Chains A and B, each alone.
Chain A
Amino acid sequence: MDIPKDHLVDMYETMVKIRRFEERIRELYFADKLPAFDIAAGLIPGEMHLAAGQEPVAVGMRPHLKAGDAITATHRPHHVAIAQGVDLNKMAAEIFGRETGLGRGKGGHMHLFSVEPNFGCSGIIGEGMPVAVGAAMAFRHKGTDNVALSYFGEGAANQGAFHESLNLASLWKLPVVFICEDNAYAISVPKAASTAIPDNSDRASAYGIPGVLVGENDPVAVYEVMGEAIARARRGDGPSLVEIKTDRLWGHFEGDADAYRSEEFKTEMNERDPIIVYGNRLLAEGVLNEADMASIQQAMHDDVEAAIEFAMASPYPAPESALEDVFAGRSVQL
């Protein structure tokens, strides 16, 4: 690998951090909802879409980003938010509905917004894609060489917003990279039952832009392809579409019985857990040794624990603050 060692390590650390975060959210999500699962109950009520298994998709772009680059993500946003460096404490606090959260408890896990670093997400499929196009317009207008990355699931590629956004970005030659996280399912619907062609990357040709398929759930492969696509956008050569085959290790949302995926499929998927595969590779190639890995593990777990503690120690917002923030100036809506 002719990739700088610090990049390789950074991607591994971030993957470990993401996984730990998702594991802890999952534990705490269920902690007080069982035995009778009630979605409205507990420390973290509501829907919860976790991204365990999809870490490579998020971390592969990290070493290529610079300050000011924008990212829009989906209803399954944590991995991308962490990779973008969104404040983990505030993000956890938002998920726990606290006053100290990114959105003072108003948004929740599908609506995480951060100004610096620049990050946003949405619970509506395809919604972030035109927003990334707009971010790229702003960068061009301001004369910066920043780029916008738009994450979306393979299910979103059948939404009008996908096609309109690709066309706009190509037409105006904007610095956007569209990143399709292909985990083969949109809730229960397998890609083959929803998508007329096997690979969404082929759809790029309809808009006259490069379409690249990353066939494995591997951060190094993602790193290489994203390096190209981001550099191209930064140079002013226009958008690209990158499709990455990845795995959603858990249910669509927590509490999903996941009966629509066969046991065989799930077993195979777990056997190729990207963190284990990548970790073994780093060991085999001598990038890290066992002791390094243990200390990375410890450090990442500590970061996550600190964020969860911060969140749980934070106060809930005052009920009447629900009326604030509808309009600028923190005015109250009556």
Chain B
Amino acid sequence: MIWVDTILQGVLLGGLYALFAAGLSLVFGIMRLVNLAHGDLIVFGAYLILVIVSALGLHPVVGALLAAPLMFCLGWVLQKAVLNRTLGDDILPPLLVTFGLSIAIQNGLLEGFSADSQRLSMGALETASVAVGPVSLGVLPLLTFGSAVAVIVALNQVMYRTAIGRAFRATSDDPVTASLMGIRPDRVFATATALAMLVVTVAALYLGTRANFDPAIGPARLIYAFEAVIIGGLGSLWGTLAGGIVIGVAQTVGAAINPEWQILAGHVAFLVVLLLRPRGLFPRGQ
């Protein structure tokens, strides 16, 4: 029974990793851009929620709702003013620029908020749990997982059921021909990053409520997000959820065997999947 519990906890933890990864997956799928600042943007989002929450005395969920439009606009401007200029044949410029952005965000947060760790408080919700048969599941992990599924469903709806999703896919296929159809690739990419920043806001909410955070933890979240995206198959959103779950389960199972193995087990699972299925569990197309 203990194993069922361990695996269920791992699945729920996978929801958190999927949230970290969904925005990265979306942006990569549309413009083949690997955003090395993704983890730091999540941390930035958590601080933004923290500022709103402490200034206005609001619940973190309300704070996240207020932060979302700001993050959306930030994503739009970031893509239009900076990232669009790095796109092209050469994969190095976006890597360099987002790496620089990562460092800039970390140092900016360090200046503004010091290295002290912070936390968003959900109150009683943090310790609440429900009994499902013999196992007891935390309400917050359940909410996280539910949010991850909701985010993935919503992104898939946008991608495959809306006109902007059609433009995302067309531009991803062939930006020059897309522009002949009246699409502005720069605009489409900006919208995609803005959308990804909405997902980042959701990720930031759970990052901040489930554990302490400080300005330096972004890169570690990026690693989990990366691994989830690659395990799932580049560009596949459901694959990203599966990837998150693989890492989450590996971590809790590893930790159950030996608490020191938690982090390592996640990375080992990633390497094993990479060995067995180099293109991930759900490779897209071709």
Report whether chain A binds chain B: no
> Which residues does B use to contact A, with CB under 8 Å?
none
